[in-house]
């Protein structure tokens, strides 16, 4: 891993110089550019110098056939800040901390960069894991000891699921869309949630939501002339996927002043601007609850969005993976399908894809890579193409499929697990709400920082009014001011957050994304470290 | 699912008519074209007529924004026969059998189309499933009853694996390449297999081998000017992935007469021909043991292939997922990395990617979607791009990661599970060898059919010398002669095999792929049905 740091600085600078003039202009260039060379931060220089174990350095291996110049330029163009440079630095620091504890003013790295709850100590929901274990090793179901070890409803559920799997073969490839019986359960869960029918044949089970997003991008994007309307700020899976599939990201800006409001007038403006440049806009991405912004859309706003898509002939790509993460009593999650059906728009009126994942919610089962998309309002011949794409990869992993059915059909009142399940679930959600509130208040107490409330999702996205001197210092190091701030923060405190430039932001504004997932007993330390660091940063650069 | 049949016939015919003239010529067109419209086989017509529940038919939904004309043409171009038309028909027949048992001359569908052992009754290896269950629900490890239910080495292994996972969090996203400790185990397994060092930092864990293949294709292919040398016949993942990523498939033909021999002269000829057409050939795909062809390459042949790649500056993409499936005493699996290192070619001499999967071998854990690629001989800056691509999808599923480490490090002599593990393993492999032999002999007994032996992998790929009248009858139904044969076979016997045209074959020759995975007690019935059908088919069409 050591090789990543220097080569990233080196490779990307080379690449920028060599490639920039070949590129056709794209809407991505509308976004705030993120300077990529690594800022030479003091305590990192020692790490950066030790790259001797690099297996094949660029210099000495000119005979190897693949070079940055010869690979797919779309790959070069793609960026994914959530696991980008800052995280690479953090991983190196963490490694170095083991042997050089005294070299740093902190004793651990605190990862607030990614929505990965169980990596920070959140425990899995017991019922879900019981069912997975029984399905994995189903001969347990024949043993009498099992009844002492597992809840009765997990045993019943495991039997039910095994009966849904042809031949009870959990080790077999399933139907390309996922096991039919599990899709029945998921469809029933969607119906119960929305009050409108859901068809199991509309469900495509996927390894987390990411492959589903890629599949839709691959379907819709033929060239840079095809565009996707994306919120700015956005979750960088979207920009990365659009770049990888060679389309154009058409940005629409969320309004920070109104709590990251989504204005139809802004959508119209950006759509028209894109069209005037010869871009055919194919779809609108909406992330609700918002990532990285944490807002929950109002119902009437959602109605306007649905009508806008219908009117403009756009596919609505609804990222609804945070549907269980709503923390404020005045907001409620409504699926876009429910909204569309409430408005009377059926299968023939609007093309709508809803993405769901087992990685989020109160369960946070990121490592299981389960998820699905519900695909409605496509003609049968286009649907068949989506099916074919799913078939090329055979199927998603069966444990993830089972888990997706479980989160859409958790224990019910009267079930053996119900009471303990509710304690686990409510404990996690209420603690997340509390942590969001504490961090939001702490951030709003910092000089020059304003932070909208996290109504939902797992993130805060504070805005920093950085002093001119700090901006100049960043520029001198050829780094974006927010990235400069985040690297300083990491270096001083061990706290990892992601610069706003990784998500996109209104040019000239600076943010970072911080998760609300650290366990409660760590929050005071995070607040203290952040507060202290921010004060000294501002003192250093105050105009 | 009902919608697929008619729409496939309809949609694809439309598409062929509409699209054909837009397409740039590609090497795919060198392959035997597979006529796509559905042959109107008698007992299917009833099924085909009942499509009334189609949610959104093409005719009635002209207001929907996405049409076959507006989607990515690369998606249209992609084909995947292993789950293509024949399987769709089979699934419909299976559904219909439930209520119309008397309408068919068979009482079950026998799937010989796909390497999916557990779907046909193969049981999972107990040790692997014990470890997975303990990792999924690790609080079992604290219970005394667990010692009665699980082997002591599965308990030890689960503890070891949990200790390798940061925070023991099996529900967390891992490092983008996979959990470091598991990669250590895999690298040690590769070293033990090859006798040459392996670096855990070269391992990228993936959800089965397919996403790894896609990743490499995405990296290497920028346009139709980039080509990949692929065997013909080939596993259609390769043609599908090349089509999806917009490159050109440069075919090289395996020599059926010499047991599907891979001739360097053929590689050279096809490479030069491609170059003369302005194609930059980026990589050579070798599948060893072969799919669909079942041959195991000789060591000296592998040496020639490695030297050819080094000399011509090609990345060697080695599909080695059947490395444990070798059935003949005169052949042995050698990894291409071992061959390259034996020849003295190191990290700086040859770019080599080896694909491995938990779906194959004696374990056949297809549903777990585990696998890895070992990436060697790439410069650090290119490696970083591969790492970035892996990061966009966060990580592969942790159960699949664990299983990949287990298959590369199974129980050892002295372990509690060792004896029973060996019985399971050897039982499966020797039974596969026996089934391969029985089916091979039966196929060679059919009039006009010749079949090379299955030295390895999971398939037989017999060649049929079809009567001219059968070829004409197929042409009259606008279907390829081998597809015509396979559909007739399905319709008469319920046996599902895949036409050779789905894999590519020398023009004018006709084959099908049949797996060797049906359980032993079903083999006599398959042989009988096949023999009877073939005789009546030949009688009907004999010249």
Instruction: Please name which of A316, A304, A308 lies closest in space to residue A355, comparing C-alpha atoms.
Output: A316
**Residue A540 Cα, gap to closest chain B Cα (Å):** 35
Cite the DSSP H helix spans in A175-276. 180-194, 210-220, 237-244, 264-276
What ipTM, to 2 d.p.? 0.89
CB atoms within 10 A of CB A318: 28
CA–CA separation, B383 and A68 (whole Å): 10
Closest partner CB to A367 (pick from B8, B174, B364): B174
CA–CA separation, B310 and B474 (whole Å): 44
- 1.10.3210.10, 2.40.33.10, 3.40.50.1820, 3.90.1150.10: CATH of B3-108+427-541: 3.90.1150.10
**Residues in chain A closer than 8 A to B137 (CB atoms):** 126, 129-130, 132-133
Residue ranges per structural domain of chain B: 3-108+427-541, 163-407
Backbone φ and ψ of B80, nearest 5°: -145, 90
* CATH class of segment(s) B163-407: alpha beta
Which residues have a Cβ under 8 Å from the Cβ of A26 and sit 6 or more positions away? A224, A248, A249
Question: Percent helix, strand and coil across chain A, each rounded to 5?
Answer: 50, 10, 40
For A176, nearest residue in chain B (alpha carbons)? B83
CA–CA separation, A248 and A226 (whole Å): 6
Closest partner CB to B129 (pick from A73, A118, A136): A136
pLDDT score for B120: 93
Which residues have a Cβ under 8 Å from the Cβ of B108 and sit 6 or more positions away? B94, B97, B494
A contact test, residue of B12, B82, B165, B172 with most A CBs within 10 A: B172
CA–CA separation, A200 and A198 (whole Å): 7
User: Is there a contact between B118 and A171 if contact means CB atoms under 8 Å apart?
Assistant: yes
Cite the DSSP H helix spans in A343-467. 380-392, 398-407, 418-444
CA–CA separation, B237 and B245 (whole Å): 12
**Residues in chain A closer than 8 A to B7 (CB atoms):** 380-381, 383-384
User: Is there a contact between A381 and B10 if contact means CB atoms under 8 Å apart?
Assistant: yes
| pLDDT (tens digit per residue) in A378-433 | 999 999 999 999 999 899 999 999 999 999 999 999 999 999 999 999 999 999 99
Tell me which H or E stretch contains A163: helix A152-164
Comparing B16 with A541, which gets the higher pLDDT?
A541
Which residues have a Cβ under 8 Å from the Cβ of B17 and sit 6 or more positions away? none
Q: What is the mean pLDDT of residues A515-542?
A: 94
pLDDT score for B87: 87
pLDDT score for A84: 76
pLDDT score for B82: 72
**Residues in chain B closer than 8 A to A72 (CB atoms):** 218-222, 245
SS3 label, residue B499:
strand
Measure the CA dihedral B435/B438/B441/B445, to 10°.
-120
Closest partner CB to B388 (pick from A78, A199, A396): A78
Which residues have a Cβ under 8 Å from the Cβ of A50 and sit 6 or more positions away? A2
CA–CA separation, B250 and B307 (whole Å): 19
Instruction: Please name which of B61, B90, B68, B73 lies closest in space to residue B12, comparing C-alpha atoms.
Output: B68
Cite the DSSP H helix spans in A445-522. 468-476, 481-493
Closest partner CB to B399 (pick from A10, A74, A399): A399
Band (pLDDT 50/70/90 cuts) for residue A29 is very low
CB atoms within 10 A of CB B349: 19
pLDDT score for A48: 37
Instruction: Please name which of A139, A140, A159 lies closest in space to residue A148, comparing C-alpha atoms.
Output: A140
Q: How many CA atoms lie within 13 A of A466 on its CB side?
A: 24
Say yes or no to pLDDT of A57 above 60: no
User: Is there a contact between B137 and A145 if contact means CB atoms under 8 Å apart?
Assistant: no
Instruction: Please name which of B260, B329, B268, B311 lies closest in space to residue B289, comparing C-alpha atoms.
Output: B260
**Residues in chain A closer than 8 A to B207 (CB atoms):** 207, 369, 393, 396-397
| Total residues found in chain A within this entry | 543
Instruction: Say how far residue B138 (Cα) sits from the centre of its chain.
Output: 33
Q: For chain B, 543 residues long, give each residue's pLDDT as a single digit of tens.
A: 333 333 333 333 333 333 334 333 333 333 433 333 333 334 444 443 333 334 444 445 558 999 999 999 999 999 887 777 888 899 899 989 989 988 899 999 999 999 999 999 999 999 999 999 999 999 999 999 999 999 999 999 999 999 999 999 999 999 999 999 999 999 999 999 999 999 999 999 999 999 999 999 999 999 999 999 999 999 999 999 999 999 999 999 999 999 999 999 999 999 999 999 999 999 999 999 999 999 999 999 999 999 999 999 999 999 999 999 999 999 999 999 999 999 999 999 999 999 999 999 999 999 999 999 999 999 999 999 999 999 998 999 999 999 999 999 999 999 999 999 999 999 999 999 999 999 999 999 999 999 999 999 999 999 999 999 999 999 999 999 999 999 999 999 999 999 999 999 999 999 999 999 999 999 999 999 999 999 999 999 987
Q: What is the mean pLDDT of residues A318-324?
A: 98
**Residue A123 Cα, gap to closest chain B Cα (Å):** 8
CB atoms within 10 A of CB B466: 21
User: Is there a contact between A394 and B351 if contact means CB atoms under 8 Å apart?
Assistant: no
CA–CA separation, A456 and A332 (whole Å): 9
**Residues in chain B closer than 8 A to A167 (CB atoms):** 118-121
For A200, nearest residue in chain B (alpha carbons)? B1
A contact test, residue of B137, B166, B242, B424 with most A CBs within 10 A: B137
Strands B463-464 and A248-253: unpaired
Averaged confidence pLDDT in chain A: 89
User: Is there a contact between B397 and A170 if contact means CB atoms under 8 Å apart?
Assistant: no
Number of H helices, E strands in chain B: 19, 14
Architecture label for domain A209-357: 3-Layer(aba) Sandwich (3.40)
**Residue A72 Cα, gap to closest chain B Cα (Å):** 4
pLDDT score for B62: 57
| pLDDT (tens digit per residue) in B499-525 | 999 999 999 999 999 999 999 999 999
User: Is there a contact between A210 and B11 if contact means CB atoms under 8 Å apart?
Assistant: no
B contact test, residue of A144, A315, A381, A428 with most B CBs within 10 A: A381
Instruction: Please name which of A337, A271, A259 lies closest in space to residue A298, comparing C-alpha atoms.
Output: A259
Tell me which H or E stretch contains A127: helix A126-136
User: Is there a contact between B173 and A359 if contact means CB atoms under 8 Å apart?
Assistant: yes
Band (pLDDT 50/70/90 cuts) for residue A63 is confident
Which residues have a Cβ under 8 Å from the Cβ of B242 and sit 6 or more positions away? B28, B217, B221, B228, B230, B248, B249
CB atoms within 10 A of CB A105: 12
From residue A483, alpha-carbon distances to A235, A237, A280, B296 in Å are: 17, 19, 33, 53
pLDDT score for A542: 87
From residue A294, alpha-carbon distances to A234, B12, B537 in Å are: 11, 44, 65
Which residues have a Cβ under 8 Å from the Cβ of A387 and sit 6 or more positions away? A176, A177, B4
SS3 label, residue B458:
coil
Which CATH number describes the domain made up of A99-120+426-541?
A: 3.90.1150.10
Instruction: Please name which of B23, B71, B395, B222 lies closest in space to residue A218, comparing C-alpha atoms.
Output: B71
Instruction: Please name which of B255, B371, B292 lies closest in space to residue B112, comparing C-alpha atoms.
Output: B292
Cite the DSSP H helix spans in B80-209. 85-99, 126-136, 146-149, 152-164, 180-194
A contact test, residue of B65, B310, B312, B361 with most A CBs within 10 A: B65
Backbone φ and ψ of B282, nearest 5°: -100, -30
Read out DSSP for A232-257? Answer: ES--THHHHHHHHTT-EEEEEE-BGG
For A67, nearest residue in chain B (alpha carbons)? B382
Closest partner CB to A385 (pick from B57, B71, B134): B71
**Residues in chain A closer than 8 A to B84 (CB atoms):** 391
pLDDT score for A214: 96
SS3 label, residue A180:
helix
For B369, nearest residue in chain A (alpha carbons)? A397
């Amino acid at each position: 891993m050591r090789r990543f740091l220097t080569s990233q600085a080196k490779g990307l600078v080379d690449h920028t110089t060599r490639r920039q003039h070949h590129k056709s202009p794209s809407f991505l260039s509308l976004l705030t550019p993120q300077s990529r060379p690594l800022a030479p931060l003091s305590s990192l220089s020692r790490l950066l110098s030790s790259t001797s174990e690099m297996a094949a350095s660029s210099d000495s291996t000119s005979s190897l056939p693949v070079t940055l110049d010869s690979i797919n330029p779309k790959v070069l163009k793609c960026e994914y800040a959530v696991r980008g440079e800052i995280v690479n630095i953090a991983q190196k620091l963490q490694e170095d901390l083991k042997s050089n504890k005294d070299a740093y003013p902190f004793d651990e790295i605190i990862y607030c960069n990614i929505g990965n709850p169980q990596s920070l100590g959140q425990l899995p929901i017991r019922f879900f894991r019981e069912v997975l274990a029984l399905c994995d090793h189903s001969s347990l179901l024949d043993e009498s000891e099992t009844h002492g070890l597992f809840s009765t409803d997990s045993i019943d559920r495991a039997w039910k699921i095994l009966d849904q799997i042809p031949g009870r073969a959990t080790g077999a490839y399933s139907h390309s869309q996922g096991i039919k019986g599990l899709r029945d359960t998921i469809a029933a869960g969607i119906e119960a949630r929305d009050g409108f029918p859901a068809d199991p044949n509309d469900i495509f089970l996927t390894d987390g939501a990411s492959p589903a997003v890629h599949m839709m991008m691959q379907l819709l994007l033929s060239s840079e002339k095809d565009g996707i309307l994306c919120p700015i700020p956005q979750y960088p899976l979207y920009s990365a996927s659009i770049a990888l599939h060679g389309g154009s990201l058409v940005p629409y800006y969320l309004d920070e002043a109104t709590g990251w409001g989504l204005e139809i007038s802004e959508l119209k403006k950006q759509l028209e601007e894109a069209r005037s440049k010869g871009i055919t806009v194919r779809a609108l991405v909406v992330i609700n609850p918002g990532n990285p912004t944490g807002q929950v859309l109002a119902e009437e706003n959602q109605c306007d969005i649905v009508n806008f898509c219908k009117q403009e002939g756009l596919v609505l790509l609804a990222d609804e993976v945070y549907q269980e993460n709503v923390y404020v009593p005045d907001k409620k999650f409504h699926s876009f399908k429910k909204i569309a059906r409430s408005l009377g728009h059926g299968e023939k009126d609007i093309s709508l894809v809803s993405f769901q994942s087992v990685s989020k919610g109160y369960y946070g089962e990121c490592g299981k890579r389960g998820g699905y998309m519900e695909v409605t309002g496509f003609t049968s011949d286009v649907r068949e193409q989506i099916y074919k794409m799913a078939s090329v990869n055979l199927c998603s992993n069966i444990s993830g499929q089972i888990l997706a059915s479980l989160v859409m059909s958790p224990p019910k009142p009267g079930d053996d697990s119900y009471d303990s399940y509710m304690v686990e679930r409510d404990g996690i959600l209420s603690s997340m709400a509390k942590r969001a509130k504490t961090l939001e208040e702490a951030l709003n107490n910092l000089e020059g920082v304003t932070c909208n409330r996290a109504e939902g999702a797992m993130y805060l996205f504070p805005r920093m009014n950085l002093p001119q001197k700090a901006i100049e210092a960043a520029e001198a190091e050829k780094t974006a001011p927010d990235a400069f701030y985040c690297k300083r923060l990491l270096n001083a405190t061990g706290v990892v957050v992601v610069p706003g430039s990784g998500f996109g932001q209104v040019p000239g504004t600076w943010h970072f994304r911080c998760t609300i997932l650290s366990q409660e007993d760590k929050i005071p330390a995070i607040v203290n470290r952040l507060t202290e660091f921010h004060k000294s940063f501002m003192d250093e650069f105050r105009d």
